[in-house]
C-alpha cells in the first residue's frame, strides 16, 4: 500500500513542538548564577567556535541580555541554532568543571539559546561590520553553516562576501536537514537574515558549475570559499531498494521542512537503516508523525552505535525500537510497494570483522524504509568545478586545518565537504578559520582568538580600546565594556 500522512494539523504541530522550551527569566538567572566563571575556562576550549562562555553567562546573570547575545554571536553567528542542535554533552557542557564536583554541568546550551532568542524575539541588530571596506570580494559556494560562518566573519573584517546557493533558501542542513522538533526552518532563516544584515549578499537558486563557472567567479572575486556539503545517502545495494517507499533520511527530514507538517507521508511500520544521529532524527520524526512502529536496524551492537547517548535516549523516550546486530538483505515487495524487510543476523569475528551469520535470515513487515547510512562525498562535482584543488583519498577537500587554504592559494574550504561530515558548530568554526585565512591572504595580517567586542569596539564614531585595525561598531546605547 502507498503511504499517506497520518495526523491532523493540531496533533502534528503538537508532536513537532520544540523539545527544549525557552528558559523563563527566573530559570535563566538561577542557572547563570550556578556558573563559577572559571579562569581559563575549559568550556571555551571545548567550543569549536571559541565562544566566551563564562563571559556571556556573566552578562545573563547581570541582566545584560543584549551584551550576552553579542558575545555569543561575535564568535558564532549561528549561536542560536547551535544552542539547539550542538551535542553539548560532549562539547562545552562535557568539559564543565561542575562535573569534577559531581554536580550537573551548567546548561550552557539552554542559556545560549535564552540570550540569542532575546535578539531574534526583539529584532535587535547587535553586530555591525566596519564602515570602511577593504575592497576585496569573496565568493562562497554553498549556503550552509560553513559559508554563513565564513561570510559573517569576512563581513566583520571589512570584506565583501557573496554566497551562491543552489536551493531556494540558504542555511543548508539547518534549514532543510535537522529534526523539526530541534530546529525549525524559521529559526534557521532568522540566522540567515542576521548574516545578510552584515552586508553579505546571498544569491539563491544558483548552481555553481551549471549557472556560473568557477572561472567566471575568479574574474569577479579575489578569493573563493568552498562550503559545499555532502551528497546522497550511500546505497544499500540490495533487491527492492528502488521501491517508492524507500527514502533517504535527509529527504524524509527535508519533506517536513518544505511541506505542512500534517501533509508529510509516513508509514505505519517504519524501518530506519543505520544508527547515527541522522538515523535517530528520522526514527523519532516518523514516530512523532504517527508511525505505530518506528524501528532502527543497526548492523553492530548497542555499544558501537555512532549516535550520541543523548540522541539515543531521545529516540527511546519517543518509543522508537531498536534491532541490533542485523542487516537488511532485501526490501520485500507486494504489488509494487514495500511490504517488509528480509534481515540477517551479524556477529563480529575473532579479527574484529563484521560477518553475516549464514542461515540467520528472518522477515519483518514494514511499509516504509529509510536509509541513514551516511552520505557520499561530492567528489565528481568538486573535480568538475575546481579540478585543480586536491582531494583526499576519501574524496574530501584537502586543506590546511588552521587556515582552510587549499593547494590553490586563493581557494579555501571548510565544513562537511572538507571534514567529511561533522557538527554544525564545527562547520561554523571552520568557516570562521577560513575567513581569517582569507584575511591573511589579503592583508598578511593574522588574527588570533575571537574578535573581542570589548577590545575592538567603537561606540558611535568613538573608538574604544586599542589596536583598532578592524574596528567593529557597537550600538550607541550599548556600553562596549560590559
Ligand atoms: Fe561556568 Fe562550567 Fe564554563 Fe566553569 S566550565 S565557566 S562553571 S560553564
Q: How confident is the prediction along the chain (482 residues), in pLDDT tens digits per residue? A: 788 888 889 998 899 888 878 899 999 999 999 999 999 999 999 999 999 999 999 999 999 999 999 999 999 999 999 999 999 999 999 999 999 999 999 999 999 999 999 999 999 999 999 989 999 999 999 999 999 999 999 999 999 999 999 999 999 999 999 989 899 999 999 999 999 999 999 999 999 999 999 999 999 999 999 999 999 999 999 999 999 999 999 999 999 899 998 899 999 999 999 999 999 999 999 999 999 999 999 999 999 999 998 889 989 999 999 999 999 999 999 999 999 999 999 999 888 899 999 999 999 999 999 999 989 999 999 999 999 999 999 999 999 999 999 999 999 999 999 999 899 999 999 999 999 999 999 998 887 765 433 223 332 333 322 222 233 333 322 322 22
Ligand 1 atom nearest residue 105's Cα: 2
Kindly state whether residue 440 falls inside one of the protein's structural domains.
yes
**Cα atoms in the 13 Å half-sphere on the side-chain side of 190:** 17
Residues 251 and 362 in one domain: yes
Same domain, 15 and 106: yes
Residue 471 lies in a domain: no
**What's the gap in Å between 314 CA and the centre of ligand 1?**
25
C-alpha 112 – ligand 1 centre gap (Å) = 13
Per-residue confidence (pLDDT) for residue 450, from 0 to 100: 53
- Distance of CA 99 from the midpoint of ligand 1 (Å): 10
Query: Is 473 among the domain residues?
Result: no
* 482 part of a folded domain: no
In terms of pTM, does the model score above 0.75? yes
Specify the pLDDT at position 463. Answer: 31
What is the CATH number for 104?
1.10.1060.10
CATH code of residue 390: 3.50.50.60
- Does ligand 1 come within 6 angstroms of the Cβ of 99? no
Both 359 and 254 in one domain: the answer is yes
- In our burial notation (b when 16+ CB lie closer than 10 A, e otherwise), range 160-198 reads bbbbbbbbebbbbbbbbbbbbbbbbbebbebbbebbbeb
The three cell numbers of residue 75 are 564568535
The rounded distance, in Å, linking the Cα atoms of 275 and 450 is 35
Residues 411 and 444 in one domain: yes
User: Atom 3 (ligand 1): residue with closest C-alpha?
Assistant: 43
**Do 328 and 403 belong together in one domain?**
no
Predicted confidence at residue 310, as pLDDT, reads 87
45 Cβ closer than 6 Å to some ligand 1 atom: no
Is residue 328 one of the residues assigned to a domain?
A: yes
Give the length of the chain: 482
Asked if residue 253 and residue 364 are part of one domain, the reply reads yes
Predicted pLDDT of residue 474: 31
- Quick check: helix, strand or coil at residue 313? helix
Q: Tell me the longest C-alpha to C-alpha distance in the chain.
A: 78
Ligand 1 within 6 A of CB of 38: yes
Q: Residues 332, 394: one domain? A: no
The number of distinct structural domains making up the chain is 3
Asked if the structure places residue 423 within a domain, the reply is: yes
- Domain of 227 in residue numbering reads as 137-231+376-451
Of ligand 1's atoms, which has the minimum distance to the CA of residue 106?
A: 8
Ligand 1 atom at minimum distance from 97 CA:
5
CA distance 334 to 126: 58
- Whether 226 is covered by a domain: the verdict is yes
The reply to whether 354 and 400 lie within a common domain is no
Question: Quick one: 303 and 353 in the same domain?
Answer: yes
| Minimum CA distance residue for ligand 1 atom 1 | 35
Amino acid at each position: 500500500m502507498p503511504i499517506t500522512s497520518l495526523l491532523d494539523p493540531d496533533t502534528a504541530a503538537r508532536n513537532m513542538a520544540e523539545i527544549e522550551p525557552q528558559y523563563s527569566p527566573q530559570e535563566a538567572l538561577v542557572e547563570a548564577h550556578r556558573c563559577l566563571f572559571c579562569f581559563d575556562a575549559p568550556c571555551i576550549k571545548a567550543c569549536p567556535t571559541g565562544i566566551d562562555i563564562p563571559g556571556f553567562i556573566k552578562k545573563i546573570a547581570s541582566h545584560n541580555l543584549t551584551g550576552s547575545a553579542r558575545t555569543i554571536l561575535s564568535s558564532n553567528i549561528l549561536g542560536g541554532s547551535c544552542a539547539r542542535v550542538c551535542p553539548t554533552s560532549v562539547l562545552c557542557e562535557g568539559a564543565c568543571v561542575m562535573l569534577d564536583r559531581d554536580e550537573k554541568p551548567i546548561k550552557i546550551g539552554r542559556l545560549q539559546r535564552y540570550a540569542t532568542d532575546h535578539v531574534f524575539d526583539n529584532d535587535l541588530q547587535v553586530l555591525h561590520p566596519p564602515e570602511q571596506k577593504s575592497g576585496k570580494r569573496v565568493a562562497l559556494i554553498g549556503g550552509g553553516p560553513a559559508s554563513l560562518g565564513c561570510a559573517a566573519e569576512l563581513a566583520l573584517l571589512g570584506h565583501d562576501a557573496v554566497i551562491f546557493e543552489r536551493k531556494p533558501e540558504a542555511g543548508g542542513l539547518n534549514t532543510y536537514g535537522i529534526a523539526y522538533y530541534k530546529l525549525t526552518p524559521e529559526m534557521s532563516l532568522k540566522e540567515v537574515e542576521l548574516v545578510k544584515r552584515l552586508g553579505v549578499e546571498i544569491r539563491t537558486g544558483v548552481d555553481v558549475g551549471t549557472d556560473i563557472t568557477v572561472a567566471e567567479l575568479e574574474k569577479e572575486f579575489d578569493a573563493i570559499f568552498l562550503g559545499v556539503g555532502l551528497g546522497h545517502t550511500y546505497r544499500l545495494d540490495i533487491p527492492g531498494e528502488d521501491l517508492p517507499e524507500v527514502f533517504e533520511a535527509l529527504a524524509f527530514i527535508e519533506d517536513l521542512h518544505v511541506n505542512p507538517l500534517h501533509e508529510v507521508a509516513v508509514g505505519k511500520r517504519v524501518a530506519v537503516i543505520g544508527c547515527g544521529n541522522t538515523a535517530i532524527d528520522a526514527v523519532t520524526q516518523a514516530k512523532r508523525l504517527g508511525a505505530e512502529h518506528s524501528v532502527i536496524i543497526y548492523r553492530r551492537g548497542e555499544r558501537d552505535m555512532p549516535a550520541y547517548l543523548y540522541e539515543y535516549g531521545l529516540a527511546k523516550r519517543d518509543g522508537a525500537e531498536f534491532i541490533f546486530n542485523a542487516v537488511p538483505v532485501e526490501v520485500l515487495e507486494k504489488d509494487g510497494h514495500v511490504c517488509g524487510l528480509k534481515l540477517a543476523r551479524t556477529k563480529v569475528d575473532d579479527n574484529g570483522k563484521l560477518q553475516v551469520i549464514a542461515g540467520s535470515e528472518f522477515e519483518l513487515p514494514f511499509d516504509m524504509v529509510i536509509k541513514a547510512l551516511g552520505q557520499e562525498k561530492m567528489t565528481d562535482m568538486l573535480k568538475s568545478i575546481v579540478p585543480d584543488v586536491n582531494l583526499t583519498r576519501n574524496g574530501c577537500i584537502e586543506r590546511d586545518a588552521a587556515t582552510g587554504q587549499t593547494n590553490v592559494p586563493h581557494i579555501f574550504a571548510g565544513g562537511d565537504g572538507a571534514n567529511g561530515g561533522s557538527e554544525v558548530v564545527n562547520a561554523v568554526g571552520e568557516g570562521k578559520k577560513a575567513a581569517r585565512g582569507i584575511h591573511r591572504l589579503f592583508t598578511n595580517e593574522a588574527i588570533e582568538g575571537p574578535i573581542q567586542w570589548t577590545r575592538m569596539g567603537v561606540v558611535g564614531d568613538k573608538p574604544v580600546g586599542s589596536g583598532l585595525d578592524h574596528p567593529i561598531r557597537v550600538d550607541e546605547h550599548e556600553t562596549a565594556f560590559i
